[in-house]
Amino acid sequence: MTLTLATTNPGEPEIFASLQGEGASMGRPSTFVRLSRCNLACEWCDTAYTWHFEGDNRPHRDGEIYERRANQFAMDEDAVAQAVADLPPDRLVLTGGEPLLQGAALARMVTALGEKRAGMHVEIETNGTVAPHPALDPLVHQFNVSPKLSHSGNPAELALLPERLAAWTADPRALFKFVVASPADFDEVLALQTKYAIPGEKIFVMPEGRNAAILRERSKWLADACVAHALRFTDRLHIHLWGDTRGT
């Protein structure tokens, strides 16, 4: 059985060790496995190479279309587990794309990883629209849930599913990360917090941006807004360190 991964270069799966750049685990050494495919299409997505393939007419602000064969890599689940086990960090971050679209295969991979290297902390980064597969759910220590606001270009009926947002709010392992580009986006975060009674300590708010200059500019007002409303601010550490590049 295989997982469909993104690539760093054609024929090279995007499995790498780095520092977690966002959210509650920012700065922690982590091994990343980036999955391909997504059920949403954010106009500002910085990993459009995981989903914006030929024939996909969903909008993206770059307008770039990616060749599927060069940007997807089918890899045996056990081989993925071994590649993760061979890297130094004791924290695994499954990201995408939308990882939970491949939940059953991820469950088998994480199980195999536990047999090769015990004690790995497992995080999943998700857009919050897909329920964890029953076999995967008990293997995960932390869900980094990033619901997509209206500026993403995704219709709310696809991106903000009430039953899923309520379930994530009730899950003690779930933390929320909202991507914000303007004060209107921040107001949406506050409305969602109120509607679903999300505790402020579970909400991270992050500036949208793919270069350090934009992040710094948006961070100025966003940090003040987080203080005023008792929400947690998160930067994008990897962008400041390495720029908007694959495998970082």
Question: Domains of the chain: which residue ranges?
Answer: 2-242
Which pairing describes strands 29-34 and 15-19: parallel, antiparallel, or unpaired? antiparallel
Alpha-carbon distance values, 143 to 72, 121, 173 (Å): 24, 11, 6
DSSP-assigned beta bridge partners for residue 4 = 74
Encode the chain (248 residues) as per-residue pLDDT tens digits: 999 999 999 999 999 999 999 999 999 999 999 999 999 999 999 999 999 999 999 999 999 999 999 999 999 999 999 999 999 999 999 999 999 999 999 999 999 999 999 999 999 999 999 999 999 999 999 999 999 999 999 999 999 999 999 999 999 999 999 999 999 999 999 999 999 999 999 999 999 999 999 999 999 999 999 999 999 999 999 999 999 999 99
Q: For residue 210, what pLDDT is reported? A: 96
Lookup: tokens for 145: 């849930």
Lookup: tokens for 39: 């059920």
* DSSP-derived secondary structure letter, 35: B
Q: For residue 179, what pLDDT is reported? A: 98
Q: Does domain 2-242 have CATH number 3.20.20.70?
A: yes
What is this structure's pTM? 0.97
Q: For residue 200, what pLDDT is reported? A: 98
Q: For residue 209, what pLDDT is reported? A: 98
CA gap 69, 49 in Å, rounded: 11
DSSP-assigned beta bridge partners for residue 117 = none
Q: For residue 155, what pLDDT is reported? A: 98
Q: For residue 198, what pLDDT is reported? A: 98
Q: For residue 1, what pLDDT is reported? A: 93
Own/partner pairs, 150-158, CB within 8 angstroms, 24+ separation:
150/185, 150/188, 151/43, 151/44, 151/181, 151/182, 151/184, 151/185, 151/208, 152/40, 152/42, 152/43, 152/44, 152/179, 153/41, 153/42, 153/43, 153/59, 154/40, 154/41, 154/42, 158/39, 158/40, 158/129
| Of 82, 28, 37, the residue nearest 56 (C-alpha) | 37
Lookup: tokens for 142: 């932390």
